[in-house]
A and B are shown apart, each in its own frame.
Chain A
């Protein structure tokens, strides 16, 4: 089985702080990490590899710095790493990003594509389903379990708000997975050693199966009109008082707002 796993390198958004004076994002010193849901996807691929044998190819689109993340994937157990990196991809929204990734997938031999549900910097959850659509593949999103059955079909658990659906899928497909369901393995020491001797293949746009007009900013239907730090609401009252007084303050406020 050939499995392709989509990875994105993201800033660790839990480490981002707002400059209290200027109201802008402080990005300096924020570490870049492998997007957590994507890491869950890699873990699922490696579990399938452990159980049934598979070739796991990790792919990413991004700047050359993403090399570090792809070596981490090698150290976890990936077999091949490809980084799509080209100025022609710059300014891509989810549709243009998924299109570029589809162009890469088309020249690879795959049975299964795994992506994370969403990336923590954008939180859109769109690239996975859009990639599936570009490739004409069936998709299952919000995956918390996937097993290969004896009949060769995948049995997949999808987590919804109010239920879990058990789904069976025939043939090639794309899954998007939740990090919480696939605790990722640690990099092995030998894996880390080997990761630095392995090659991360860097591919430009002319190596993949795409029309250039559909790439990057030009291929993106959505445009950022403006971005701004979130408006802070005016601070309310803050009291540092005895417990008895605190209780009375709360009761008074609940009465004032007609809660009680």
Chain B
């Protein structure tokens, strides 16, 4: 392998049921930054069935080229089908960098590809930058990620191999403004499948309850922990969230004890969120929780324990009883917003 042959920043543009996932746009935003430093192109790999007419959106969100593999075999995500197609694109086009969303799709496929390509892969990165390599004339991707449950950060490099691959959790990178004037090319790609390796069959897909909105998309989150106690306590949080036009989220403790559904969980084993406002009510702030929300623009925390770690990341901390303060705040905001 000659490192010089590997160029351009590739993004796996994930879609589900024909809907491009927000993480694809976030990755394009970051890929654009990296490619501009390198003086290279951003190329989106867009796989599915009946999706080709959406390729232009990826260009408007930052891609210079979209490679479209549009065929029935790629209708639903299946590990082997998608791995074969992406592998063939990478083998043919030799990207320097490949980014994937750290979703149940990206985290399933990227390691298989890393192994097939004998390439380095760094999971769940929170920061990506390109820096001059030790070897003259080369730039390395520096992928920074949390380890030890968020207690430690590590920067990973792949000095000797290409492509350099990373996954990034949804909500971590910033997408760019859509630019309808942006021009780019769309390239068709027809994978040559080895169907003898297709051993897994999709029997059925059971949709999750759509009544639970995705907290990672919310601009305002009112989040509760152990101090909220029970469903009744979360009712108070819901009333405040309704008043603010936001949603309710939860710490792991209240998911583990069955009070809140897993979809609402913020943190290392839940979702990463970066809303405009994160109100942490009765959340002590275990490092695993902080890892999922500390990038929020404004953090307000209410907790009885003035030594709670949540206060270390809060812009405004209130030592007090949420069961009193939250309903009072809701009433106060009603009056305020009626004016």
A residues with CB within 8 A of B: 11, 13-14, 16, 18, 25, 93-95, 98, 120-130, 132-134, 138-142, 155, 158-171, 173, 180, 220-230, 232-233, 235-241, 243-244, 246-251, 253-254, 257, 259-260
Contact = CB atoms under 8 A, between A and B. Distances in A.
A168 B200 CA distance: 6
A122 B147 contact: yes
A159 B306 CA distance: 38
Contacts of B150: 230
Contact of A243 (B107, B277, B328, B333): B328
Contact of A159 (B104, B115, B152, B153): B104
A241 B197 CA distance: 65
A168 B203 contact: yes
B104 A160 contact: yes
A193 B297 CA distance: 55
Given A224-B154, A228-B152, A238-B319, A130 B244 contact: no
Given A130-B115, A133-B115, 14 more contacts: A123-B147, A126-B107, A138-B197, A138-B200, A139-B112, A225-B142, A235-B312, A239-B318, A246-B318, A247-B328, A248-B332, A250-B318, A257-B276, A260-B336
Contact of A166 (B80, B204, B313): B204
Contacts of B157: 222-223, 225
B207 A162 contact: yes
A121 B325 contact: no
Contacts of A248: 332
Contact of B107 (A141, A165, A167): A141
B3 to A, nearest CB: 12
A248 B288 CA distance: 31
Contact of B121 (A170, A222, A259): A222
A253 B300 CA distance: 9
Contacts of A11: 148
Contacts of B297: 257
Most buried by B among A93, A171, A222, A228: A222
B326 to A, nearest CB: 9
A173 B277 contact: no
A252 to B, nearest CB: 9
Given A11-B148, A120-B149, A230-B146, A223 B156 contact: yes
26 contacts: A13-B149, A16-B151, A25-B148, A25-B151, A95-B115, A95-B120, A123-B268, A126-B107, A129-B79, A129-B108, A133-B112, A138-B197, A138-B200, A140-B200, A160-B105, A165-B76, A173-B199, A220-B120, A221-B158, A239-B319, A243-B320, A246-B325, A247-B328, A259-B220, A259-B276, A260-B333
Contacts of A257: 276-277, 297-298
B111 A126 contact: yes
A257 B297 CA distance: 9
B231 interface: no
Contacts of A16: 148-149, 151
A138 B149 contact: no
Interface in B149-169: 149-161
User: Which 9 A-B pairs rank lowest in CB-CB distance, beginning with the nearest?
Assistant: A13-B149, A221-B120, A133-B115, A129-B111, A222-B120, A236-B315, A138-B199, A238-B317, A126-B111
B184 to A, nearest CB: 29
B120 to A, nearest CB: 3
Contacts of B332: 247-248, 251
B201 interface: yes
Nearest to A129: B111
A132 B115 CA distance: 9
A158 B203 CA distance: 11
Nearest to B321: A243
Interface in B133-151: 142, 146-151
B41 to A, nearest CB: 24
B90 interface: no
A121 B302 CA distance: 30
Nearest to A235: B312
B316 interface: yes
Contacts of A13: 148-149, 151, 288
Nearest to A228: B153
Nearest to B207: A163
Interface string B71-103: 000001001100000000000000000000001
B158 A123 contact: no
Given A236-B316, A253-B300, A260-B244, A230 B153 contact: yes
Contacts of B259: none
Given A124-B124, A130-B111, A163 B208 contact: yes
Contacts of B152: 25, 227-230
A31 to B, nearest CB: 14
Given A25-B148, A260-B336, A167 B320 contact: no
Contacts of B197: 138
Contact of A138 (B79, B156, B161, B204): B79
A70 to B, nearest CB: 23
A128 B108 CA distance: 9
A123 B124 contact: yes
B112 A132 contact: yes
Contacts of B15: none
